[in-house]
Structure formats: C-alpha cells, structure tokens
C-alpha cells in the first residue's frame, strides 16, 4: 500500500456532527491500520471555544462513542490524540483567518507536515465560498510547489440548484485549480460501489451482456428506515431529490452505466462517467408528473411504537410540501443503453435501511419449461447489495429434481461477510480521506459531473415549483412509499424488487 505524504488536515466545522461521527473514527481507523503518514496532524476549527487539550478531551469521548469497529487500545488512542490541535475561529471574519494561519504554520512546523494542507469544509454550505476566498486571501490556496500542496474538500450539498452550483464552482475555481478541489460524494467511497467497477471491468463474463441486447431494465434503490431526525431545518430546503438523487443515486447509475475507461485514474474514470450524465434523456417539465413520483412519510405505528409523520418533525413546517421519497424512470440515450429503462427510488422511513442495484436481464425468447410460478420463467437478475449485508446475488432457473422439467429460481449468493477473517469493510470516509491525502480524485465528483447532474434534475424541481397540483403522495412510515410508485414500472408481472426478508404476499410491503 502506498503511504500518503505527511500532511495537516484542517477541519472547518470541527465541533459538528460529521467530525465526531465520521471523520475522526475514519482517521483513527486509518491510524490504527498504519495507513496514515508517520507525521500527520489534524487542526480542528469552528466557532465553539476549545483549547488543544479540551478538544482532545472531546475527541477522546467521541471516539469511545462513535468508533465501533474494533476494541480501542487506550495507548493507540492516546498517541492518536496527540496529533490533534484546535483553533477557535469565526469563519465569516477574515481577520480570524490570520490567527488560523499562524496556528496552522505552528502545527505544520511541530508535526513536520511540510506545508501539505487539506482544508476539509464540513460547515454549512453557505460558508463554502467565504472560507475558500479567505484561504485565497491569506495565501493558503496556492497550487502545489516545492513548499507543499493544498487541497480543498467540500461536503455535499454542492449547490442548491444548477445556478448556485455553477456560481460556487466559479468562485472556487478562481482560487483553486480543479485538481485541488475534492467534492465528496460518500457513496463513491463505499466499498460495494467501488466493487461495481471491479465486478464489471475485472471479469470478462458480464461485460458482453451489459447492454440493451441483454438487459431489460435496471433498478437502483437507496432506502432508509430513519426519518429526518434532527435535520429538519436542512431537509426542508433540500428534500430527497436534492439530498440523494442529484448526487448519490446518479453517481451509482453512472458507475453501472459507464463505458470501460482506458486507464483507472481520475481523468479517465470521470470522463466516462460524465458522458453518462450527458446522455441522460432530458425530461420535459410536462413529463415530470408521469415519470417522477414524490411522497412524504405519514405517522404510523411500527412494532408498537408511534412514529411521527414528516410534518410533525422538529423544524418542519406543518404544511410542508418537501418530498421525503422520490421514485423515477429515465433513459440513457447512447448505444449501450438505448431504450433500457432505469428506475431509481429513495426515501426515508421505508421498511429497511438498504441500498442495492438490480440488473434485470431479458427473458428467454421462448419458454420451453413449466415453472412453479409462470412469470418466473427465465427471470434472471443480478443484485448488487451496496449495504447492509454487502454482496452480490445472481438469480437463475434450475430444474427441480425429479420427474418432468419443472423450473425453480435459485440464488447464487455472495456475502462479503463470508470472506471471514479480518475482512472488515472500511467506512467510505476512510477511503475518501486516504485518497485525498494521496492526491487521487477518482472517487470524487468533478465540476462538470455536478453540473450535468443538476441539469438533469432542474426540470423536475421547476415543474414541482411551478405546478403545486403535481401530487405529493403521503405514505405511512414503514412502507415502501406511495402505491403509485408501482405504476412507474410497466409490463406484466414486473414490479420493484423489495429487498426485505418479511415481505407480505398480500400487500407487497414489509411486515414489521
Ligand atoms: C446523506 C444524506 O448524504 O446520505 C442523508 O444527506 C442520508 O439524508 C445519507 O441519510 C445516507 O447515507 P448512507 O451511507 O447511510 O446510505
């Protein structure tokens, strides 16, 4: 394994949730596995008042709570915490960046990080441009030279719509070069999403089938059982389309649909992905009602527990029209995918937390055999389970032993957990942080891709905004979203794949 060069990561918004839940556990795990540079430092900054010591104390107890992978060795944790520093700063004030720079240079000298800095923006998106501008003004944004490199990492959401995303890109690119900018989409860091690339391009057997001649349709699902929790304020302005579809789901679609890149590097992989985004068939505003279903979760009782509806959640307007569920159908207009429908859906308060891709292959042209259920005849599909129970399933028909030729579908099922031993899937943030330290942006979103995804999403946002008559369907918490979602998938005996163990035969919903 290549080790990254020494560097300091400056985390803006370090007292927030992401730092304690994701960034610190990821850094600690990389440290424990010996994958960080020998000399590295983390400088946290935010408005909250901490000293180096009190911030280390906080990280100490946060790690106890949020680092769940292995048993923590007290010695390793103590050593790791010595690499952490803190500077209080109001990030809207230019003057405070001067003190921040002074502290950074001190940390850099002490930790011998050779002027290599990563600026990780885990703040409100409204601060992204201001922080970048201030970094530019105090001379911390210059491109690589012999005195070190500078990279900036931005959390999502990247823009609120096409115009604001372009504006943000324009501002950032005035200060940083594109190859210094790392736009995080944590789905790309998931081991199983990366495995789609390996599965497709490291095996000769699937790629010949991976096209309109053999594939009937493709489904991508990202379901969550939780509601909006404490994020009502953010979610009200975002909704599922901006929060999940514009970024995570479309990135997964591109990973499934892209052509093989010439080389496995940031330029070639991302060039192929952006071609998929450009090939998404634009949706006219008038078609939105037909191809996009939006829903909002309603109060319900799950396992005897009363669950609030979205409109009863904290910081949510009691008349809110924000969607917590989206399902849509679209096409990718190119030679590989012409006329193959892609169906994607995502939602909160669905029966399970599960993300998966299902590739449905075309049926045989002529059925020779009887099957237990006639519509199962020749039903072949491949499921790529992104999370949880990560793995791959291939479904095909098999003769039932005995007289006659009865066919039954069976599954060939690979679970990552079967690899056994020490094979634990790293968290997406571990992979992404390490890649950024190594200067590899392959798994980060490029400006043109973000732009193209917004372009595809805009007609939907505009149609919803202009036409309040487009229905927002309520769905009881704990179900698979509005019933209307089923109508999106056309064809006899074709329905969504419901990835749930306790599926009720009557309702098609999960029995809770
Ligand atoms: C985030 C969204 O980007 O992804 C959240 O803002 C969502 O609303 C989360 O819950 C889902 O991520 P994961 O990794 O749990 O599927």
Which residue out of 21, 185, 243, 499 has the highest number of ligand 1 atoms within 8 Å of its CB and is therefore the one to mutate?
A: 243
pLDDT digits (tens, 9 = 90+) for 402-451: 888 888 888 898 888 888 766 678 889 999 999 999 999 999 999 999 99
Angle at 126 between CA 173 and CA 136, to 5 degrees: 40
Residue 374's pLDDT is: 54
Residue 423's pLDDT is: 61
430 C-beta closer than 6 A to ligand 1: no
Q: Are 60 and 77 a contacting pair, CB within 8 Å?
A: yes
> 238 C-alpha to center of ligand 1: Å?
13
Question: Measured between alpha carbons, how far is residue 312 from residues 298, 475, 512 in Å?
Answer: 9, 14, 22
Q: Select which of 248, 360, 366, 509 is catalytic.
A: 248
224 C-beta closer than 6 A to ligand 1: yes
When pLDDT is cut at 50, 70 and 90, the band that residue 509 belongs to is very low
Residue 433's pLDDT is: 96
Q: Is the pLDDT of residue 475 over 50?
A: yes
Residue 503's pLDDT is: 46
Average pLDDT of the chain is 91
- What is the full DSSP assignment across 362-393? PPPSS--SEESSGGGTT--EEEEEEESS-EEE
Angle at 430 between CA 262 and CA 268, to 5 degrees: 10
> 224 C-alpha to center of ligand 1: Å?
8
pLDDT digits (tens, 9 = 90+) for 446-469: 999 999 999 999 999 999 999 989
Residue 372's pLDDT is: 57
Return the residue matching tokens 């495995």: 195
368: how many CB neighbours lie within 10 A of its CB?
Answer: 9
**Helix segments in 118-218, DSSP class H:** 128-137, 162-175, 191-201
Atom of ligand 1 nearest to the CA of 238: 6
Of the candidates 216, 198, 188, which has an alpha carbon nearest to the alpha carbon of residue 497?
216
Question: What would the two tokens of residue 85 be?
Answer: 């520093």
Which residue out of 244, 246, 445 has the highest number of ligand 1 atoms within 8 Å of its CB and is therefore the one to mutate?
A: 244
pLDDT digits (tens, 9 = 90+) for 37-72: 999 999 999 999 999 999 999 999 999 998 877 777
Q: Per the omega criterion (within 30 degrees of 0), is the bond before 388 cis?
A: yes
Q: Is the pLDDT of residue 261 over 90?
A: yes
pLDDT digits (tens, 9 = 90+) for 112-123: 999 999 999 999
> What whole-number distance in Å separates Cα of residue 165 and Cα of residue 259?
26
Helices 266-279 and 250-257, axial angle in degrees (round to 10) = 100
Summarize the confidence of residues 12-39 as an average pLDDT.
94
Helices 24-32 and 428-438, axial angle in degrees (round to 10) = 70
> 244 C-alpha to center of ligand 1: Å?
7
pLDDT digits (tens, 9 = 90+) for 323-381: 999 999 999 999 999 999 999 999 999 998 999 999 999 988 887 876 655 555 567 99
| Pairing mode of beta strands 7-12, 40-46 | parallel
Q: CB under 8 Å to 440, separation ≥6 — which residues?
A: 265, 266
243 C-beta closer than 6 A to ligand 1: yes
Helix (H, G, I), strand (E, B) or coil at 501: coil
Angle at 498 between CA 232 and CA 493, to 5 degrees: 130
185 C-beta closer than 6 A to ligand 1: no
248 is catalytic: yes
Q: Is the pLDDT of residue 232 over 60?
A: yes
pLDDT digits (tens, 9 = 90+) for 103-160: 999 999 999 999 999 999 999 899 999 999 999 999 999 877 778 999 999 998 899 9
> 435 C-alpha to center of ligand 1: Å?
21
């Amino acid at each position: 394994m290549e080790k990254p060069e020494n560097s300091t990561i400056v985390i803006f918004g370090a007292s927030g949730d992401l730092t304690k839940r994701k960034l610190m556990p990821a850094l600690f795990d990389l440290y424990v596995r010996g994958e960080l540079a020998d000399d590295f430092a983390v400088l946290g900054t935010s408005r909250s008042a901490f000293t180096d010591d009190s911030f280390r104390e906080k990280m100490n107890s946060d790690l106890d709570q949020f680092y769940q992978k292995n048993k923590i060795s007290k010695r390793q944790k103590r050593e790791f915490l010595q690499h952490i520093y803190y500077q209080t700063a109001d990030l809207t004030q230019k003057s405070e960046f001067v003190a921040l720079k002074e502290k950074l240079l001190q940390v850099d000298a002490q930790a011998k990080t050779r002027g290599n800095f990563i600026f990780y923006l885990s703040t409100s998106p409204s601060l992204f441009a201001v922080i970048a501008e201030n970094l530019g003004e105090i001379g911390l944004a210059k491109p690589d030279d012999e005195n070190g490199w500078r990279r900036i990492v931005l959390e999502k959401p990247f823009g609120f719509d096409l115009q604001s995303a372009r504006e943000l890109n324009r501002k950032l690119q005035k200060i940083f070069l594109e190859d210094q900018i790392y736009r995080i989409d944590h789905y790309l860091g998931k081991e199983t999403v990366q495995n789609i690339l390996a599965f497709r391009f490291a095996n000769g057997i699937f790629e010949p089938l991976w096209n309109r001649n053999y594939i009937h349709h493709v489904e991508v699902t990202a379901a969550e059982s939780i509601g909006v929790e404490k994020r009502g304020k953010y979610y009200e302005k975002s909704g599922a389309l901006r929060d999940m579809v514009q970024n995570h789901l479309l990135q997964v679609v591109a990973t499934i649909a892209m052509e093989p890149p010439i080389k496995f590097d940031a330029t070639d992989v991302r060039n192929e992905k952006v071609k998929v985004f450009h090939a998404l068939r634009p949706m006219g505003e008038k078609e939105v009602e037909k191809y996009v279903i939006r829903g909002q979760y309603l109060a319900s009782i799950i396992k005897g527990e009363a669950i609030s509806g979205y409109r009863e959640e904290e910081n949510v307007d009691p008349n809110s029209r924000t969607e917590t569920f989206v399902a849509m159908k679209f096409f990718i207009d190119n030679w590989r995918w012409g006329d193959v429908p892609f169906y994607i859906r995502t939602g909160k308060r669905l029966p399970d937390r599960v993300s998966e891709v299902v590739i449905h292959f075309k049926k045989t042209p002529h059925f020779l055999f009887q099957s237990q259920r006639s519509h199962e005849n020749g039903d072949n599909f491949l499921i790529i389970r992104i999370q949880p129970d990560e793995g791959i399933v291939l479904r095909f028909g098999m003769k039932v032993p005995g007289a006659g030729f009865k066919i039954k579908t069976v599954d060939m099922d690979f679970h990552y957990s079967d690899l056994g031993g020490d094979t634990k899937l790293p968290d997406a943030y571990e992979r992404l942080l390490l890649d950024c330290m190594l200067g590899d942006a392959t798994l980060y979103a490029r400006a043109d891709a973000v732009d193209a995804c917004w372009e595809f999403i805009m007609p939907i946002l505009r149609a919803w905004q202009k036409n309040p008559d487009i229905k927002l369907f309520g769905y009881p918490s704990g179900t698979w979203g509005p019933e209307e979602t089923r109508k999106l998938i056309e064809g006899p005996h074709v329905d969504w794949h419901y990835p749930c163990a306790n599926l009720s035969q009557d309702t098609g919903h999960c029995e809770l």
